[in-house]
Amino acid sequence: MPRMFGTDGVRGLANKSLTVDLALSLGAAAASVLAFDPAADTGHESSRDRQRPLAVIGRDPRVSGEMLESALAAGLASQGVDVMLVGQVPTPAVAHLTGHHQAALGAMISASHNPMPDNGIKFFAAGGRKLSDELEDRIEDALEARITGPTGNRVGRISRLDRETALAPYLEHLLGTVRHPLAGLKVVVDCAHGAAFEAAPAAYAKAGAEVVAINAEPDGYNINEGVGSTHIEGLQRAVVEHGAALGLAHDGDADRCLAVDASGALVGGDEIMAVLALGMSEAGELKDNTLVATVMSNLGLHLGLTEHGISVVTTKVGDRYVLEKLADGEYSLGGEQSGHLVLPEHATTGDGTLTGLFLMARMAETGKSLAELAAVMTVMPQVLINVQVADKAKVSVSDSVKSAVEKEEAALGETGRVLLRPSGTEQVVRVMVEAESHDVARESAERLAEIVGAV
């Protein structure tokens, strides 16, 4: 039976695969493991002096979040957990508030950058930490068990904070990270009609920037609809129209951030990582002068940072693998090409608003434009071909594929790269080639795709 938890919680079509019944059961199961299981390493000792453990629940604005929030809260309360509903706030706000309120667990109801009909439930352990595979497996096992809830005064209570009160500790935390005033910087922020619609513009304005907020009017249905970090075109136009120094684009739950320079050119996740890595290195704050990135990060990131004495350690695709590597090496910066960056000193998960603040602080500190800062790396042309195969496992052991990859890598030399990655959910192998020119990358990728498809 496949795992219910994916790389980012439980996600599916709301009211079909992700039902109210499932949310109710997940709440009860999560309570049994994260609040009450003494054998589970959840780290929530600080909450055990309460009469009942506490859970913090936030959500993005999509309409299905209303019913799922009610069901999840009921499941938790049925097991003797008090629930604090903090409403429409970013995912990293929930992670922070889980630690701030010394809660046993936190939960975010969101499908991130997915379209409105989808939704998801992501849990945090005490301190706002992401769950390990072991804890997720324990919750899945608990779903199969018959859980008996308490009665009387041991049943959990459900309370709701207004958004201003809920966001206050998170915004105070964000502003405490800003080391250089942002006065003089004009920024356009695309909130994707999502969870950042209030928090991100407020944080940037409080830090001193002049803020123009767009797509900050969620109605429950318009989240991610042609806007945000997956649809950057509107932000590119707005930055030029408003004469802004930069633009920042968030996704539906605001754990990601992509940027646009003053000319409207995209500054992607790799370039943002390069800018921050160089700044932290110069300040002596980049542990072992090392950045953590996934295998999908552009070769230009590696080449550009190498010139400045910065190493790049790579992981599998997925923010959980970045987080694991950051923890293992006690590194200080990591992230993904998608704009999901993690600064462990300040956050337990990716935080798009925190990323935006750090990026603008670097601009203010150096007096340089975003385009000048992003020039630390040159994005290498990248071609990605998804190849439908009969058996992706056979591809990974195929001698003909291995030989072809070796041949292409030899031809590309140090200025190119080949990556073959099987899909986690489909019989598909992703063939990615980077090279000095798009034509070279395309021709190499097409040759490899033909051989992969023939296996």
Q: Which residues are annotated as a binding site for Mg(2+)?
A: 112, 251, 253, 255
In b/e form, how buried is each residue of 230-240, taking b as 16+ CB within 10 angstroms?
A: bbbebbbebbe
Does residue 234 sit in helix, strand or coil?
helix
Q: State how far the Cα of 391 lies from the Cα of 397, in Å rounded to an integer.
A: 11
Contact 434, 299 (CB under 8 A): yes
Half-sphere exposure of 314 (CA within 13 A, CB side): 13
- Please, which residues have CB within 8 angstroms of residue 222's CB and are 6 or more apart in sequence? 116, 193
Q: State how far the Cα of 187 lies from the Cα of 201, in Å rounded to an integer.
A: 9
* CB count in 10 Å sphere of residue 348: 19
* CB count in 10 Å sphere of residue 46: 13
The letter for the amino acid at 146 is R
The single residue listed with the structure tokens 């802004």 is: 244
Q: State how far the Cα of 186 lies from the Cα of 213, in Å rounded to an integer.
A: 11
Annotated binding site: 112, 251, 253, 255
What the block records as the tokens of 73 is 């809260």
Contact 277, 333 (CB under 8 A): yes
Q: State how far the Cα of 324 lies from the Cα of 243, in Å rounded to an integer.
A: 40
End-to-end CA distance of the chain: 27
Does residue 96 sit in helix, strand or coil?
helix
* H-state helical runs in 34-111: 64-77, 91-100
Give one DSSP letter per residue of 287-337, joined into a string: GGGEEEEETTS-HHHHHHHHTTT-EEEEE-SSHHHHHHHHHHHT-S-EE-T
Contact 381, 438 (CB under 8 A): yes
- Please, which residues have CB within 8 angstroms of residue 228's CB and are 6 or more apart in sequence? 113, 190, 191, 192, 193, 194, 215, 249, 250, 251, 252
Q: Which residues does the annotation mark as catalytic? A: 112
Does residue 210 sit in helix, strand or coil?
strand
Q: State how far the Cα of 98 lies from the Cα of 103, in Å rounded to an integer.
A: 5
Q: State how far the Cα of 179 lies from the Cα of 42, in Å rounded to an integer.
A: 33
